[in-house]
């Protein structure tokens, strides 16, 4: 459990945040300047609040009333900063073991081999951080934080500054991490697409205040702040068939079969598939004949008017979204319960495969 009710001041900025959640992966969403880093620094002990309380898992980290202010190094919080902050003079292996060696043996929750396997770091262990790509450096930073056996892992915009391919790969590893390890995580971002697959509960931070709390799906309409990129969903499935001569693979996701572009997919592999809402076309009244290889029958679950765009949620087995115009909503009669077909090309999908367990 995470419980925060704190007032803090940094320069001219004032944070008055109140938030409580029992979820294992909690998200904080907000645009730049909303107070995300200030909030994280209060939790980690890098900034002392003026008043209030902060508790993680029932342990007080700060309480102005009780006179508690646990030093940062004793809070057992793994903080992954946006820039990674790896030690350039140490190898990847030595970076990973830096915090692990400081943890008493009886308190160590994870081993180097386990973390390296989950985050796919085995081939990087003897390399210098100076030669890593942005995505590799982020994964090493996450691994180093995990090996400190934290009670809370803070991820401060871990995908920022990465190109789309690297963002998807790092997100896939974070999803894999969520499934494999029992770790309480606080995930912070200004990109809503990150939250849908990863976060269980989230708060929306605006101008230093938590204004709404709920699941990512429930807060989708509330959270839109005019992001330049369309909403992207990430779905997990299993590769069932591979057709090298045809250039595609088949993955089963939530009972539906998706045709994926063939890259390094292998039958039996776990695959994380990303699909942007503006790549999905909706059709009604019968299955259309089209060059799009993915034609999935589904039911409209919701219609979200976000001002500049309208998002339609469609249950095709997993939940996907289509970005449409208001005129399409009217002409096609799109409303909850309406049966539709969702169409998208093979090349509209981006897949990240991880080895099967």
Per-residue pLDDT tens for 162-203? 888 888 888 988 998 888 888 899 999 888 888 988 999 999
Which tokens in the block code for residue 209? Answer: 């205040």
pLDDT of residue 192: 84
CATH of 233-354, one of 1.20.1440.230, 3.40.50.300, 2.40.50.100, 3.50.50.60: 2.40.50.100
Residue 253: half-sphere exposure toward Cβ, Cα within 13 Å: 26
Higher model confidence: residue 101 or residue 161? 101
CB-CB neighbours of 288 under 10 Å: 12
Kindly report the average pLDDT of the chain as a whole number. Answer: 90
**Separation CA 55–CA 106 (nearest Å):** 23
Which tokens in the block code for residue 272? Answer: 């994380």
Query: Of 178, 223, 185, 232, which is closest to residue 203 (Cα–Cα)?
Result: 223
pLDDT of residue 133: 87
Beta bridge partners of 80: 155
Comma-separated ranges of CATH 3.40.50.300 domains in the chain: 2-226
pLDDT of residue 225: 47
pTM: 0.86
Comma-separated ranges of CATH 2.40.50.100 domains in the chain: 233-354
Please identify, in words, the CATH class of the domain defined by 2-226: alpha beta
């Amino acid at each position: 459990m995470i419980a925060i009710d704190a007032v803090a001041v940094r320069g001219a900025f004032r944070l008055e945040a109140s938030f409580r959640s029992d979820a294992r992966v909690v998200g904080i969403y907000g645009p730049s300047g909303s107070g995300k880093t200030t909030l994280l620094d209060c939790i980690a002990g890098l900034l002392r609040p003026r008043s209030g309380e902060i508790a993680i898992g029932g342990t007080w980290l700060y309480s102005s009333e009780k006179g508690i202010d646990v030093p940062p190094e004793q809070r057992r919080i793994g903080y992954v900063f946006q820039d990674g902050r790896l030690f350039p003079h140490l190898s990847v292996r030595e970076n990973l073991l830096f915090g692990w060696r400081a943890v008493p043996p009886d308190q160590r929750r994870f081993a180097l081999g386990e973390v390296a396997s989950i985050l796919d770091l085995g081939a990087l262990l003897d390399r210098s951080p100076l030669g890593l790509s942005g995505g590799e450096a982020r994964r090493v930073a996450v691994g180093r934080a995990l090996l400190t056996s934290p009670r809370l892992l803070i991820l401060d915009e871990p995908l920022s500054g990465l190109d789309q391919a690297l963002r998807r790969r790092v997100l896939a590893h974070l999803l894999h991490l969520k499934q494999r390890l029992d770790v309480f995580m606080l995930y912070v971002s200004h990109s809503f697409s990150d939250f849908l697959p990863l976060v269980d509960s989230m708060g929306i931070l605006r101008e230093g205040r938590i204004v709404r709390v709920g699941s990512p799906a429930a807060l989708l309409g509330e959270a839109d702040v005019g992001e330049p990129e369309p909403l992207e969903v990430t779905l997990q499935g299993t590769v069932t068939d591979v057709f090298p001569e045809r250039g595609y693979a088949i993955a089963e996701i939530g009972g539906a079969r998706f045709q994926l572009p063939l890259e390094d997919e292998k039958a039996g592999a776990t695959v994380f598939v990303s699909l942007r809402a503006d790549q999905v076309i909706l059709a009604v009244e019968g299955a259309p004949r089209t060059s799009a290889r993915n034609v999935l029958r589904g039911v409209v679950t919701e219609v979200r008017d976000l001002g500049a765009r309208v998002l339609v949620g469609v249950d095709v087995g997993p939940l996907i979204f289509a970005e449409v115009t208001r005129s399409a909503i009217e002409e096609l009669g799109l409303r909850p319960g309406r049966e539709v077909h969702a169409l998208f090309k093979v090349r509209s999908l981006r897949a990240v495969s991880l080895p099967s367990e």
